[in-house]
Amino acid sequence: MGAKKTFVTIFPICENVHLTTDIGQIPFFMHKNHGYESTIVAYKNSESYPNLEEEVKGLQMNFLENKGRFIFLERAVLQYIKKNAKHIDVLDLYHFSKFTFVYGLLYKKLNSKGILLIKLDAYNETFAEGNVIKHSTNKLKNAFFKYLERKFLKQVDLLCIENSEGERLLKKMYPAVSSKALFLPVGVNDLFLVEVFKDKVKEYDKKENIILSLGRIGEPIKNHEMILRALTKIDMKDWRMVFVGQINESFANYFNELSKEYPVLKEKVTFIGRIANRIELYEWYNKSKVFCMTSWHESFCHAIGEAFYFGNYIIGTEGIMSMKDITDSGKYGITLKADDDTALANTFQSIINNQTNIKELYQKRVEHSHTYFIWSEIINKLNNQINKIEKVHA
């Protein structure tokens, strides 16, 4: 039996929390479901990485010693690629940037048969029609980086993007790489969830009348103030709004001021704070019926995928690039403008007054999630593409 194939993700800023996102989940599932020896290469950015013994057990980490920079590049990363390129079957890099171009080109120079993939964690505006991507404000530097970009696009094997509209825009901006573009959404760790929540996922009628929002509560880009303003316009009856996540101080002050004018908010809004335990976190998705995310901008939003796994009806905003895919063009959720408080209030009130529609489609939401937005299925898709590329390289 030959040596295992290797899958290496270079992500220098990786922290423990990243292991439960695509950064950790992609290499983990390539290891768990497809037999790769998977490693994340990073600086040690967290005191400890408990997720290595929990959700991503079997994934390895290689911690780099910080050796400073050579121009704009990480010396430690350059040295790692030079030393290990020939032994890396698949190299996984993140973001459409000058760093990625240099690291990717160096890898392909040293291992021409190796597979280079890039995960484009990008807002669709990056590839929007009429947009010109600049890598520097300095004209000469930008011209050099555009040259590197062209070389990189010839060498890269796979460009993965998180939403179908982004894939379309990418292909339109760079038609020469159309065959290399792959819609690869963000999933949930179904292996972990099946193990932990076997027979514990609640049917719709066993859930509570909760609208949930989860993440960095009050971060300006999250636009959570919109939710509070909408709540002041409705009769919540026996429903409540729950925020899970670390709370921004200015948002806490905003809530306190608003609740002086609308005391019902104190009664109907619950702040849980940050939850480090993943199972406890998932229990909130399991309890709630509706998940609401009002971000001005969001590439995919892991929390939406997690809420959807537990059958939550999704309320999102146009700035969240994944809404069309997650909701199957509006079947399983609703997409609103991020500045339309009245539309959000009307949506809340409609659900509170009559749950029939969201109850009827509960099972369909779960099935849609488990077909398209779990890592096992997503990584099957990626692995199939990698196998095709390997045959071409052979």
The model's pLDDT over 160-173, given as tens digits with 9 standing for 90+, comes to 999 898 899 999 99
Instruction: Say if 46 falls within a structural domain.
Output: yes
Same domain, 48 and 175: yes
Q: How do 313-317 and 290-292 pair as beta strands?
A: parallel
What does the pLDDT average to over 364-368? 95
- Is residue 1 very low, low, confident or very high in pLDDT (cuts 50, 70, 90)? very low
Same domain, 312 and 354: yes
What does the pLDDT average to over 149-154? 96
Q: Is the predicted pLDDT of residue 85 greater than 70, yes or no?
A: yes
Question: What is the pLDDT of the chain when averaged over all its residues?
Answer: 94
- Is residue 122 very low, low, confident or very high in pLDDT (cuts 50, 70, 90)? low
Instruction: Say if 82 falls within a structural domain.
Output: yes
pLDDT tens, 23-67?
A: 999 999 999 999 999 999 999 999 999 999 988 999 999 999 999
Instruction: Say if 1 falls within a structural domain.
Output: no
Q: Is the predicted pLDDT of residue 121 greater than 90, yes or no?
A: no
What does the pLDDT average to over 252-275? 96
CATH code of residue 154: 3.40.50.2000
- Burial class for 126, CB neighbours closer than 10 Å (0-12, 13-18, 19+): middle
pLDDT at 2: 58
Same domain, 229 and 331: yes
pTM of the complete model beyond 0.85 = yes
Same domain, 315 and 273: yes
Query: How many domains does the chain divide into?
Result: 2
Q: What domain range is 140 assigned to?
A: 6-187+374-393
